[in-house]
Every structure is written in structure tokens, then in C-alpha cells.
Amino acid sequence: MAGRRTPTIRLRRLAAELRRLRVAAQLTVEAVTEATGLDQSSLYRIERAQNKPQRRTVTTLLQLYQVDRERQATLLGWLKESGQTGWFQVYEPYLPEQYQAYVAFEHEAERLKNYESLFVPGLLQTAEYAHAVIADADAGRSLKADDVQRRVDVRMQRQSVLSRPVPMQLHAVVDEAAIRRTVGGAEVMRAQLTHLVKASSLPNVRLQVVPFAAGAHPGMPGSFVVMDFADPFDAPLVYVDGIAGDAFLETEEDVARFARTFDLIAQAALSETQSRKLIQEAARAA
């Protein structure tokens, strides 16, 4: 299923900066289109990273916004780099557009906070566990065997962010339900829990479990991810996934709200040492 190509993080960065510069110049969309001849729909798509603009269009906008030459060179560099995609490009025809976007942003993220209520986080899944989750939990989507395997392959490849030269800093918090629920059978689950214990010893991975004994807690409404990026021009993102669909939230208010919620969930969770002990006990019982 081919769809519109997902914007790269560089194109998203350029779009956000062009929008910020227009607002800083106190120019409306109508004023820009009148001054440049660019139609409103095109400017709308450029500022939302839905279209990759031509170099002359970006130059015209930057001159209108009275951006200095050095800054112009930086932004035009972003435009040049905006066509660069990652390893996941080969999978784009087979993945939903929102998931493509998630993989692209995750690939660029410096820090990721992930709360999961029912599943082991994707970055910490084994291939067998991932296959069971995708094939069974997503059964309503009627995925073909080849599509299931492609998604498993993508999930495994995504995990390279944890072992790259400058690894992602991952803080994962899971509800005890994700640890206790047998997914894929006892052997698969036991291997998954053993893998979690091993992964939790990595210096860039923090793993906590919210025990059943904690009772009601702020994470009960559902799972979410908060992404932070190294470049200050890349604003944090929140990703929420559910049966009704998935969505990205980018406003400062939404990001701050989910970041606070994550901190509250982490406070309700066991310490990393206690969490590792609980997972080890669950593995022995599986």
C-alpha cells in the first residue's frame, strides 16, 4: 500500500522554522502569498512539512523574512538534507503513514520516555514476542503473513537506536500486566522476560514496573511515548497509539502534560532494582 512519503526530521525542522520566521516577521499567510505569488495552499503544505519546497521558494521566503545570509545558508542546508531517509525507506510501501512517521522520528530521537500498559515496549521486544503481538493483537487488521514478518523486521531494526555510537537514552515504564500476560506461549514469554532483564542492565536503558499493588495510577488511560531530540530546533513530540488510531501531539501544553504524567507514573513504579527482581520472578514462574 503506497502512500505519501513521510517527511524526514530535517524537512519537519525546516517547516517549523519557516513557520516561526513568518510569525516573527508579523506576516500573515495572505501577506506572504501576496508578496511572493506563492498560493496559500502551497505555503500551508510547506509549513507543515507536507511538501518539500524548491530551493528558490525557500530563498524567496527567507529574504522576505529578512533572514541573514549565515542563517539562510543553514536553512538551505536543511533543505538539501531533507531528502535523506533512513534504513526504513525500503519498508515504506508496506507501512501505515503514521507508523512511518513514528519510525522516522524515533530514529532521530536522543531521548525517549515510553509508558506501556499492556505490552513490552517495542524497543525491548524479542522477535518471537513481537511476532505474537503483531499477528494476534493486530488480528483485526487482517495482516497477511508477509506483512506481519515485515513489521517484525522493522521492529527489530528499530532497536538499533539502543546500540548506535551515541545510543538513545530510553526510560521505559510498564504496568505489571505487561509482565504477567503470557504472549506467544510460556516459552516465548520466558525468553522475553529474560531479555528484559538483560536489556535493563544497559547503561542507556532505565526500566521500571508499576506493580499491581500500586492500585490506580496516572498511566491507566493508555500508553504513550515522549520523544526529545538533540537539536534545539527539533521540538519534543508525543505519540499516542490506540484502537481508535494513533496521533502525534506537538504543542508545548500537550508535551508538558504527558511529560508530567510520565514522571508521576515513574514515581508510582518500583525502583529499577525492584523492577528487575519482579521480572526475574515472573520469568521463573512463566
Nearest CA-CA partner of 123 in 98, 103, 143, 138: 103
**Does the predicted model carry a pTM greater than 0.95?**
no
Q: Which range is least confidently modeled, 105-109, 158-162, 174-178?
A: 105-109
> Given a cut of 90, is residue 16 above it in pLDDT?
no
Return the domain boundaries, the chain. Answer: 9-81, 90-285
- pLDDT for the residue numbered 1: 36
* Residue 165 DSSP SS3: coil
Q: What is the pLDDT of residues 225-255, one digit of tens each?
A: 999 998 776 789 999 987 767 888 888 899 9
What CATH topology corresponds to 90-285? Endonuclease; Chain A (3.30.870)
Nearest CA-CA partner of 239 in 91, 113, 153, 118: 113
Q: Quick one: average pLDDT of 193-207?
A: 97
Q: In CATH, what number does 9-81 get?
A: 1.10.260.40
Q: Quick one: average pLDDT of 204-217?
A: 97
Q: What is the pLDDT of residues 113-124, one digit of tens each?
A: 999 999 999 999
Task: Return d(Cα 202, Cα 177) in angstroms, integer.
Answer: 23
- pLDDT for the residue numbered 138: 62
- pLDDT for the residue numbered 12: 78
